[in-house]
A = this chain, B = another copy of it.
Amino acid sequence: MSIKIGLLGFGTVASGMPFLLKENKDKITAASGTKLEIAKVLVKDDDEKKRLLAAGNDFNFVTNVDDILSDDDIAIVVELMGRIEPAKTFITKALEAGKHVVSANKDLIATHGKELIRLAQDKGVAFYYEAAVAGGIPILRTLANSLTSDKVTRILGVLNGTSNFMMTKMVDEGWTYEAALKKAQELGYAESDPTNDVEGIDAAYKAVILSQFGFGMTIDFDQVVHQGISSITPDDVAMAQQLGYVIKLVGSVEETPSGIFAEVSPTFLPKSHPLASVNDVMNAVFVESIGIGESMYYGPGAGQKPTATSVVADVIRIARRIKDGNVGKCFNEFIRETKIAHPDDVKSHYYFAINTADEKGKMLRLAEIFNSEDISFEQVLQQKANGEQARVVIITHSLSKSQLVNVTEKLQAVADFKLLNTFKVLGE
C-alpha cells in the first residue's frame, strides 16, 4: 500500500521532490508509515509535457487538472504553481473532492487562506503550508507545535532573501541600492520587476501568515504597513554602522495592549542582535516570548531543495495522520479574535536623517519640533556641512506611530528641513 500524490506544477520546487523521496526513501517511508508515490503531475500543456519527458523525467504528466481531482487513488494534492489563479480554484476543488492539500503559495495563503482553511476543516482534510514562510525554515510547525506552551510577544523576521542579499552588499561592501539590485538580477535572485521583493510585499505576505501562527490573529494583507529598501542610501548605511547598527529589511508582528501590529520596514538592528548576522539570501525568524524569551530559527528562505524539504515534511505528516486515522487537525489551531493595534500603542525607536541649511539656530529649531511632540533623542550626529547644507542624524527614544506621524508632518511643513529618511531602530 502506498499513498499517492498529485503534483500541480513541475517547476523548480516540485522537481526537487523526487530527489528527496529517492534519497531519503527509507526514512520517509518509516516516518509516513507507508510509501509515498507521485502518481500524476499536472503541467500546462503538451509542449511542456514533451519537454519534461524528453529531459528524462519519468512521471505520469497530465494537462487536465480533473485527471488528478477525479482520481480516487490520489489522497494528497501538492500545489506548487504559485500566483492566485488557477491555484486557488484547483486547491478549492481538491479540498472539495476530499483530498488533503499541501501548498507553498504564500500570496494565496496570505490573501485567501481563511476560506481555504475553513473549507479544509469542513471537509475534514488537511491543508498544510510550511514552505509558504521562509522556505526551508520549519517555523510554522515550530510555532504551532513547540511554542503552544508559550506566549509570543513579538516576531521579527528577515523574510526576503533577495532584499537581504542586496542589503548585505550595501552594508558589507558599501554598494548602492542600484548596484545591489543589478547584481541580484544577474544572479537570478531578483526578477526584472523586483517590486515584490524590494518593496516588502513578499515579506508582508509572510507577516500575515506569521501573525496567524504566532498570535492566533489574522491580519489582512493590506493592514500590513510595508516600506521597502529602495530609499536606503549609502549615507544611511554608513550612519547606521557608525552608530552601532546594521540595516536590514525586517518584517515584524507584535502584540500591544490594543491588538497586533504588523509591518515590513528597513530596520536598524544593533550589531550584536542575532538577526544582524543573517546575511546574503538567508532568512531568519526571531521570536520573543514570555517563556523561552528569545529564540531564532535560521535557514534558507527559498531554493529548490530547502522548499521541497518543507513540502515533503508536510506530506509526511499528512500521510502519517491518514495512517493513524487522525487527519482533521488544522495546521494552526491557535485562533483568537483579531484586534488591530491602536497607533498610540505601537512604539519603537526611530532614525531620522534630515538635511538643513547650515545656519545658526537650525539644531535648536529641530530640537523644538521633536520636543513639541514629546520625543527625546538617544543619539544625535551632525555631519560636517558642505557650507550650504548640514546633515543631522537622530536616533530617538521610543515613540508611538501617532507621534511619528505628527513629527513627520511638522518636519515636512518647515521649508528649512528636508526629511531624507525615517527608519525603525530596534532598541537594545
Is A41 part of the binding interface, using a Cβ–Cβ cutoff of 8 Å?
A: no
Contacting A148 at CB < 8 Å: which of B27, B142, B289? Answer: B27
Q: Are B150 and A24 in contact (CB under 8 A)?
A: yes
Is A381 part of the binding interface, using a Cβ–Cβ cutoff of 8 Å?
A: no
Distance in angstroms from A232 CB to nearest chain B CB is: 22
Distance in angstroms from A286 CB to nearest chain B CB is: 8
Residues of B within 8 A of A289 (CB): 309
Most chain B Cβ neighbours within 10 Å, of A28, A130, A309, A310: A309
Is A151 part of the binding interface, using a Cβ–Cβ cutoff of 8 Å?
A: yes
Q: Are B308 and A136 in contact (CB under 8 A)?
A: no
Contacting A146 at CB < 8 Å: which of B216, B274, B313? Answer: B313
Distance in angstroms from A424 CB to nearest chain B CB is: 22
Distance in angstroms from A257 CB to nearest chain B CB is: 16
Expressed in whole angstroms, the Cα–Cα distance for A335 and B290 within the complex equals 35
With contacts A291-B305, A293-B300, A299-B295 taken as known, whether A141 is within 8 angstroms of B145 at the C-beta atoms is yes
Expressed in whole angstroms, the Cα–Cα distance for A313 and B146 within the complex equals 6
Residues of B within 8 A of A192 (CB): none
Expressed in whole angstroms, the Cα–Cα distance for A310 and B146 within the complex equals 7
Q: Are A309 and B291 in contact (CB under 8 A)?
A: yes
Residues in chain A within 8 A of chain B (CB atoms): 20, 23-24, 27-28, 30-31, 130, 136-138, 141-142, 145-151, 216, 272, 274, 277-279, 282, 289-300, 303, 305-306, 308-310, 312-313, 315-317, 324-326, 329, 333-335
The 6 A-B residue pairs with the shortest CB-CB distance in the complex, in nearest-first order: A138-B146, A291-B309, A295-B299, A149-B312, A296-B298, A136-B292
22 residue pairs from A and B, CB less than 8 Å apart: A23-B290, A24-B150, A24-B291, A27-B151, A30-B334, A141-B146, A145-B313, A146-B310, A146-B313, A149-B310, A149-B313, A289-B309, A290-B305, A292-B299, A292-B300, A293-B300, A293-B303, A293-B305, A295-B300, A296-B296, A297-B298, A324-B326
